[in-house]
Amino acid sequence: MMRAIKSIVMASAACMAFTAHAADLKVAVYSANVPFGYEDQNGKLTGYEVDIVNLVAERLGKKVEYASTPFHMLFSAVQSGRADFAIGTITVTPKRLESISFSQPWIDSELCLTVATKSGIQNVEGLAGKGAAAVTGSVGEMWASTNQPKYKFSEIRRYDGSVEAFLDVAAGRVGGVFHDCPSDAYYIKDKPQYKIVDHIATNEQFAPIFKKDSPLVAEINQEITKLKEEGEIDRIHKKWFGDSAPDESSTKKILPIPKI
């Protein structure tokens, strides 16, 4: 399980110092989400989305308080007002836009099936009769649930975080995990016991979420636009993924605030 992060940080590109000062922005974060938001070996919260939020807050002259939150609880955190906004590779969907607001997205993704290298599974069809894993409330869970009759998964196991799902894959308790491709590729790059065997073109775009029609959406979105114009978000992309994002990707392209 994720250990709680309830610490105040001064948003800084160079340093995240945990303090006891009042926060200007309360941010719920799915913090078992390498490389987008996670605790490093020193217990410091870091990652692609965390870096962007820290830079936005620095530009606004605000302090941030992060609260570690399971993925499926990010939505209630913003709806209830416990958080001003939330991050955690949250896909923009029309259904979600009915109850929450997004800023413009800042990275694209698709869905991957990751299995144990020794399993012999070569594609989604190879999961017939085997268990499928997914993070609760994620697009991976939605896709697996919708397609279970077609591909005949024996069950769908749901997890609060992807790490637990990967451990069950390695142990053979499930056949594979449906999860975001960028996260999986980063997580398994030094773990030969796993391999990605299939890509599912879900055409996802990730963005922070806010309470429906929150006035903070426009303020944060304006800063995201500036960071794209200055190439700062692409610089963060290079830091975490090793190369520049495609020119037409949401990492570089200024996009409208998503609407239904």
* 208-239 tens-digit pLDDT: 999 999 999 999 999 999 999 999 999 999 99
User: Does 110-203 match 6-106+207-241 at the fold level?
Assistant: yes
pLDDT at 22 (0 to 100):
64
* Average pLDDT along the chain: 92
Taking only the tens place, the pLDDT of each residue in 152-162 is 999 999 999 99
What CATH number belongs to 110-203?
3.40.190.10
pLDDT confidence of residue 23: 80
The b-or-e profile of 22-47 (16+ CB within 10 A means b, else e) is: ebebbbbbbbbbbbbbbbeeeebbbb
CATH number among 2.170.150.20, 3.40.980.10, 3.40.50.1820, 3.40.190.10, domain 6-106+207-241: 3.40.190.10
pLDDT, average across residues 71-76 = 97
Average pLDDT over residues 71-82: 97
Give the CA diameter of the chain.
Answer: 54
Name the DSSP letter for residue 124: G
**pLDDT (0 to 100) of residue 14:** 31
Domain locations along the chain: 6-106+207-241, 110-203
